[in-house]
Amino acid sequence: MSLLLAPFMLRAALAATGVALAAAPLGAFVVWRRMAYFGDAISHGAMLGVALALAASLPVFWGVLAVTLVLALAVAALAGRGVPVDTLLGVAAHGALALGLVAVSFVPGVRIDLMAYLFGDVLAVGGADLALIWAGVALLLGLVAWRWRALLLSAVDEDLAIASGLSPRRERLTLMLALALLVAFSLKVVGALLISALLILPAAAARPLARGPGRMVAIAMGIGAASALGGLALAALADSPAAPSIVSLATLAFLLTHGLDSLRR
């Protein structure tokens, strides 16, 4: 039990809760706009960012942010063309992941723990990481709150948004850039492979419980934070891997809410 109260555990809990809180509203928009693939493409691109940062001896955060931003812009440009993008996104996601893994193996003199980047290493989060994560959380939540109605109307119907004097393209870009930022600062917590899950699962789990968009985001935040804390507790008590435990609990929440919802009908 004392493990649960160790300082590294407290840092892990704060880091994971922060990521879950920031991921919930973005995840809701990803679900509403059917953009799950975009999340994958951007998060898998993070591996390429890791490789480039190590090769250039830069902090990993900046390398990942640079690559995910470029990917987000490229993807936004493609989406604006009306090209059927799912195939291209699949290529971008797995191409960037594979290229990143190959590139990492060629970085001379560096032995890195690949697993830590693919699945996160939340128990190793330090004080500086924590400050970075919460700065990112504040920035993302502020951004979503500021653009809320514009983002929402663009998700409801792009033509209506245009007729109201908004630019759905700009709102889509805002969302892409926010996703890139989220991936960069949560890489250490959940890793490149599971960020998409933490984005989508809490929002999807919240859907049957919500009658309005704001409520859906709030419930998703609660489910995300509970999964984060529960997953960490599981990791500490049963020695399971932390990030997969968090995602497993979020999956369980999804099954529960949707199961109950289909029983009620």
Partner 1 sequence: MRLLRVRGLSVSLGGRRVLEGVDLAIAPGEIVTIVGPNGSGKSTLLRALIGAVPAAAGIIERQSGLRMGYVPQKLALDSSLPLKVRHFLDLPRPVSPGERARALDEAGAGGLEERQLAALSGGQLQRVLLARALLGRPQLLLLDEATQGLDQPAAANFYRRIEALRNRTGAAILMVSHELHVVMSASDRVICLNGHVCCAGKPEQVASAPEYRALFGTGTGGALALYRHEHDHAHEHEHHHPHGHDRPHAHEHHHDHHGEHAP
What's the one-letter identity of residue 130?
L
Nearer to partner 1, 127 or 165 (CB): 165
DSSP 33: T
The SS3 assignment for 8 reads: helix
Binding-site member from 4, 105, 146, 215 for partner 1 (CB under 8 A): 215
Instruction: List, in order, residues 6 or more apart from 243 with CB less than 8 Å away.
Output: 119, 120, 122, 189, 190, 191, 194, 231
Q: How far is the CB of 82 from partner 1 (least distance, A)?
A: 7
86 binds partner 1 (CB under 8 A): no
Binding-site member from 13, 31, 132, 220 for partner 1 (CB under 8 A): 31
DSSP 167: -
- Residues 224 and 129: their CA atoms lie apart, in Å, by 20
Site stretch for partner 1 (CB under 8 A), options 17-25, 32-40, 53-61, 245-253: 32-40
189 binds partner 1 (CB under 8 A): no
Q: How far is the CB of 210 from partner 1 (least distance, A)?
A: 5
Binding-site member from 73, 101, 107, 207 for partner 1 (CB under 8 A): 207
Contact 204, 31 (CB under 8 A): yes
Per-residue tokens: 25: 């509203």
List Cα–Cα distances, 223 to 214, 246, 253, in angstroms.
Answer: 14, 11, 7
46 binds partner 1 (CB under 8 A): no
Q: How far is the CB of 146 from partner 1 (least distance, A)?
A: 13
Q: What does R_g of the chain's alpha carbons equal in angstroms?
A: 18
33 binds partner 1 (CB under 8 A): yes
163 binds partner 1 (CB under 8 A): yes
- Residues of the shown chain interacting with partner 1 in the complex, contacts defined by CB under 8 A: 31-34, 82, 149-150, 152-153, 155-166, 204, 207, 210-213, 215-216
